Amino acid sequence: MFWYHEQTKHSYVSVRSNPNQLDWSSQPSTYKNYPDTYHKRKLDLDKEEDHFLYHIAGLTAKKSYPGFEYYLRINPSAGALYPNELYFQARGVEGVEDGIYHYEVATHSIAFVASISEEEGLEPYLGYAYVMEGYLFLVSAIYYRSSWKYKNRAFRYCLLDAGHLLGSIEAAALLKPHAVQMAYGIDKEKLNRMFGFEQREFFLSAATMAIPRKEQKIKAVEFALPYVEGSGTFEPNEKIMQAYRETISLQGCQKVLKAPRFDYRSDKLRETIFNRRSQRGFEGEAITKAQYSYIMERVTQPVLSDCDEEVSVYTVVNRVLDMPLGVQKDGEYIKYGDFSRKAGYLCLEQYSLAAKGAVTFFLTSKAGNYQALYQKAGLIGHRLYIASNYLGIGCSGIGAYYDDEVNAFLGNDEMVLYALAIGR
């Protein structure tokens, strides 16, 4: 098992012996904005392409508390800390000038950060030899936004949240509709240098929604952007950076060429994407067996990817009509019984979620490509949000759990990647 994952496990003892003390004076900003010397264009939601981009990472709601407020986005994030940034290359997209952009969440704008030409672009850094018409998305992480609160474990959340952002791209693409291919084998080190990240930000993955011009080969564009602050405050975390460096290369990857199949209605899907929320508690009501089957069918669709890693999906069936109580692995029962209280305990005793929910999910893996497998878990989690919310069922991602005790309960020794709960 990867040393980083082993050293960042939670246990009943660890969460009590190492209480997390937050320094509110050093809380980082969750927005990165390029200086006004860069050309910026505010999104016009009456335009199809701008509307599409907004449905990937736009702001959707504001939460206000005494002396404090924060905004929610279309994509979920652990602790609403949003460590991930979205960049993209547009080529041949109607209404969008060819070039490389940064999506500015705070201002609902896209910032033009670098030029491309007919002969040069980002394509070679993503493994393409030909000109690609459409979008090439890049997902990065500004890890201090998360490590400020979650310390060493934050790399896990950066990866999960990146997977959610990839899932958000996949969901938004269904509105067009277009297939999206995930890419993890990108030249991250070169891209990090070109974008001027200075080890405070790093690329994790890409998503391609483009078609090749077979007759036209492409060269790698070269540029050097100056560093742009993305968090306001910063404290280095060598353990996170070491984990990133040691998992940056991929080994023995398997490609997936089979596209997923979804049958969402565009109007209802658009509403679901925009109104997605994380449930804060459930009332203990059941869902139907048909709803459970509908959700599972969509969660387990293939993921188009250059490095697909096996992720096991365990479900604790707590309240599903006409289904026995028990635990399933990939849709098959492995044991029977009422384990709702156990599921609540395993999720750091969040009983209102994992115990009162209709179904609790645990995603695990024994694969070797850590960045790819963890982001796939986040993408599966985002599919779960979309499918559940589409049916009017609540969903909540749970990034904290007693790792080894989950393994003992499930009867495996795989890395536990994510827990989620759905219900009413």
Do 138 and 235 sit in the same domain of this protein?
yes
Number of domain units in the chain: 2
Do 164 and 226 sit in the same domain of this protein?
yes
Instruction: List, in sequence order, every beta strand (DSSP E) within 270-370.
Output: 312-317, 326-329, 332-336, 359-365
Q: Which of 200, 228, 246 is the last residue of a domain?
A: 246
Do 203 and 298 sit in the same domain of this protein?
no
Do 165 and 314 sit in the same domain of this protein?
no
58 touches 110 (CB < 8 A): no
Do 157 and 24 sit in the same domain of this protein?
yes
| 198 is a domain residue | yes
| 270 is a domain residue | no
Q: Which two tokens stand for residue 91?
A: 């080529």
| 214 is a domain residue | yes
Do 79 and 170 sit in the same domain of this protein?
yes
The residue among 256, 244, 232 whose CA lies nearest residue 182 is 256
By the 10 Å C-beta count (0-12 exposed, 13-18 middle, 19+ buried), 229 is classed as middle
Report the 10 Å Cβ neighbour count for 392. 10
Q: Which two tokens stand for residue 297?
A: 């069918």
Do 130 and 227 sit in the same domain of this protein?
yes
State the chain's maximal CA–CA distance in angstroms.
Answer: 62
Do 231 and 287 sit in the same domain of this protein?
no
Q: Which of 225, 246, 267 is the last residue of a domain?
A: 246
**CA dihedral of 235, 240, 242, 244, whole degrees rounded to 10:** -120
Do 233 and 320 sit in the same domain of this protein?
no
What is the value of pTM for the model shown? Answer: 0.96
Q: In degrees, to the nearest 5, what angle opens at C-alpha 282 toward C-alphas 420 and 10?
A: 40
| 326 is a domain residue | yes
Q: How would DSSP label each residue in 1-33?
A: --HHHHHT-B-TTHHHHS-----GGGPPPS---
The residue among 96, 105, 183 whose CA lies nearest residue 138 is 183
| 30 is a domain residue | yes
| 261 is a domain residue | no
Angle between helices 48-57 and 154-173 (to 10 degrees): 150
pLDDT of the chain, 424 residues: tens digit per residue = 589 999 999 999 998 887 777 888 889 999 999 999 999 999 999 999 999 999 999 998 777 666 666 788 999 999 999 999 999 999 999 999 999 999 999 999 999 999 999 999 999 999 999 999 999 999 999 999 999 999 999 999 999 999 999 999 999 999 987 889 999 999 999 999 999 999 999 999 999 999 998 889 999 999 999 999 999 999 999 999 999 999 999 999 999 999 999 999 999 999 999 999 899 899 999 999 999 999 999 999 999 999 999 999 999 999 999 999 999 998 899 999 999 999 999 999 999 999 999 999 999 999 999 999 999 999 999 999 999 999 999 999 999 999 999 999 999 999 999 999 999 9
| Residue 265 parent element (H or E) | none
Q: Where are the alpha helices (DSSP H) in 107-217?
A: 144-150, 154-173, 188-194
Tell me the CATH number at 322.
Answer: 3.40.109.10
Q: Which two tokens stand for residue 199?
A: 């080890």
Q: Which two tokens stand for residue 339?
A: 């384990």
CA distance 325 to 243: 39
Q: What's the domain range around 358?
A: 277-423
